[in-house]
Structure 1
């Protein structure tokens, strides 16, 4: 087949990555749908699965038309629907909500590297789906009291400008630090929310991981999430910011794996990347130097943890190699 409108290298890379993420999410959805006993939750999960299936098919057609090998991604072999329920009390929708946050960022990045109209259409459609599901998930969780709202504050009554570099001071042995601004509180609350969900997710993974090395890795990730939660809670408490209640989702006592170790490791790989982006955003927009420093240290820990996970994936042959540029030196040497 002669391709008259070939996709470029950045589009190949981004659509390959998107396919990996979509097939992973579909496996989670299949398990959550199977175990859900709430009709409204099943509607949200099932609707998302149908939408993602359509776009996965679109990507597969695109791969075929471009003469590109279809990625392996994640298949039915990576999910075990007969496994008992591992998570309860709205965790399925909470986790989907976090995945949609991740997807928003990936679609923006993908669109920014896209020039082909068909690839643009895929990202436009996926963005619409993501925004719809994120809204439905948030409403569902708030209505059931599972999702905690950020702290309430008094409304600003006048506009002010920063005139003193002391505004950035956070390391003070004597005297009071300035109160957190609303942007800083919002970022810290979001980090707490995501890390609480991540801690529950990885606790379940640790309970059912089959490989000892993987189980140990997940336990290490659980402690890292707890450490981040502790740091953020302390910052809020020192500023007399009332903490919102943590999520009411629970991890059951099941040790039967609903997912393959390969799938669970890749899920944490994606969330580590999301965590690094979040840490970077927090460090950039926080203007108190103690918060910036703590955020940088958190990012360092997440990066080190992520690299350890990548090496585990390498050792077990679980990391599908992304498409890559031609090795010109090898081609030239081969022609000699």
Structure 2
């Protein structure tokens, strides 16, 4: 007999998340492509659109094959193609690079929990095409002299073991220099907050719902504060600061995206921030750094939770697939 296994919960979760993220990113990039004035960016924008379209269509096919409901996700109703530009072409390129990196990492990480051959093949292909997009984006940023590099350090003269527990100090008094691992996390978290701050600044002036605008204004303040915390750490260490992201925002108040899409984008960035801070806590041995991350992640969690409540209030938050409510079935006759 031919064995045809059903999708597991992990596979459904992976596919559902990929559909949501890529159906959203498709329309973000579509707006960027529509207002683009940089010929160098045209090919990469089209490749990003093709990648997102590939993911959405493949997930749809897999779900329909197994009789799973296809997510609502995002549609043409969530974009205004007549809207003027809000962000620069350079920011659009950096967004594509960031999106491609996130897509590559997510697809690769998910392979561990995937059993079915067709699902593994799909995510392997997804990882491959987004890695290619990431490399193309990096090459173009380097060509333009706009790639944001991490700080540099002098070459290490010799390898050695840690001698005592003072290596963990940092809360009170003197502390040892940052390791390259700690610097890498600080740089990555600075980048995440920079792109979030720029995005939210544009959203705060174009959102239609006053509550959404207020939420975005609060997010701008949080992202700026977190970015300052990370930059201050580097300054105190005497580490060269990485260049700032291009945060040019136009004066347009015409929304290119629906409030629903903007809120989902920010909730997604919140999730990436929490994930990044969690990884940083695990990799940072200096106690003062762990203290910073613990405090900041709590603030992001609260901000993200308030965003989820706002989306539910407006019926913008799509429910992920869930297990059968056995209790409701048992009580159906009561």
Q: Considering the TM-score relative to the shorter chain, is it more than 0.5? A: yes
Structure 2 counterpart of 1:323: 321
Structure 1: unaligned runs, 5 residues or longer: none
Q: Following superposition of structure 1 onto structure 2, how do residues 190-229 of structure 1 map, counting pairs within 5 Å? A: 190-229=188-227
Structure 2 counterpart of 1:247: 245
Structure 1 counterpart of 2:153: 153
Q: Following superposition of structure 1 onto structure 2, how do residues 244-283 of structure 1 map, counting pairs within 5 Å? A: 244-283=242-281
* Aligned partner (choices 158, 174, 177) of residue 175 of structure 2: 177
Structure 2 counterpart of 1:50: 50
Report the CA distance between 1:6 and its aligned residue: 2.1
Report the CA distance between 1:244 and its aligned residue: 2.1
Structure 2 counterpart of 1:306: 304
Secondary structure at 1:251's aligned position in 2? coil
Secondary structure at 1:334's aligned position in 2? coil
Report the CA distance between 1:249 and its aligned residue: 4.3
Write the distance in 1 (CA, Å) between the matches of 2:119 and 2:171: 48
Answer yes or no: is 1:188 the counterpart of 2:179.
no
Q: Following superposition of structure 1 onto structure 2, how do residues 228-243 of structure 1 map, counting pairs within 5 Å? A: 228-243=226-241
Structure 2 counterpart of 1:103: 103
Secondary structure at 2:331's aligned position in 1? helix
Q: Is the 8 A contact 1:147 1:247 kept in 2?
A: no
Report the CA distance between 1:89 and its aligned residue: 4.2
Q: Is the 8 A contact 1:89 1:250 kept in 2?
A: no
| CA separation of 1:154 and 1:323: change in aligned 2, threshold 3 A | same
Write the distance in 2 (CA, Å) between the matches of 1:119 and 1:205: 35
Structure 1 counterpart of 2:135: 135
| CA separation of 1:139 and 1:266: change in aligned 2, threshold 3 A | same
Write the distance in 2 (CA, Å) between the matches of 1:35 and 1:77: 18
Write the distance in 2 (CA, Å) between the matches of 1:227 and 1:157: 36
Write the distance in 2 (CA, Å) between the matches of 1:172 and 1:8: 49
Write the distance in 2 (CA, Å) between the matches of 1:249 and 1:180: 28
Write the distance in 2 (CA, Å) between the matches of 1:13 and 1:172: 44
Write the distance in 1 (CA, Å) between the matches of 2:194 and 2:241: 13
Write the distance in 2 (CA, Å) between the matches of 1:226 and 1:192: 10
Q: Is the 8 A contact 2:182 2:284 kept in 1?
A: yes
Deviation track 1:53-92 (CA, whole Å, cap 9, x = no partner) reads 1232121111211111111000010011110000014010
Write the distance in 2 (CA, Å) between the matches of 1:5 and 1:166: 53
Q: Is the 8 A contact 1:80 1:257 kept in 2?
A: yes
Q: Is the 8 A contact 1:89 1:248 kept in 2?
A: no
Write the distance in 1 (CA, Å) between the matches of 2:7 and 2:218: 40
When normalised by structure 1's length, the TM-score is: 0.95
| CA separation of 1:224 and 1:237: change in aligned 2, threshold 3 A | same
Write the distance in 2 (CA, Å) between the matches of 1:330 and 1:179: 57
Q: Is the 8 A contact 2:200 2:219 kept in 1?
A: yes
Q: Is the 8 A contact 2:36 2:89 kept in 1?
A: no
Q: Following superposition of structure 1 onto structure 2, how do residues 64-75 of structure 1 map, counting pairs within 5 Å? A: 64-75=64-75
Q: Is the 8 A contact 2:31 2:81 kept in 1?
A: yes
Structure 1 outlier segments of 4+, above 6 Å: none
Q: Is the 8 A contact 1:78 1:260 kept in 2?
A: yes
Write the distance in 2 (CA, Å) between the matches of 1:76 and 1:297: 39
Secondary structure at 1:25's aligned position in 2? helix
Write the distance in 2 (CA, Å) between the matches of 1:101 and 1:148: 14
Query: Aligned-residue CA RMSD in angstroms?
Result: 1.6
Q: Is the 8 A contact 2:105 2:127 kept in 1?
A: no
Answer yes or no: is 1:14 the counterpart of 2:14.
yes
The count of corresponding residues between Structure 1 and Structure 2 is 332
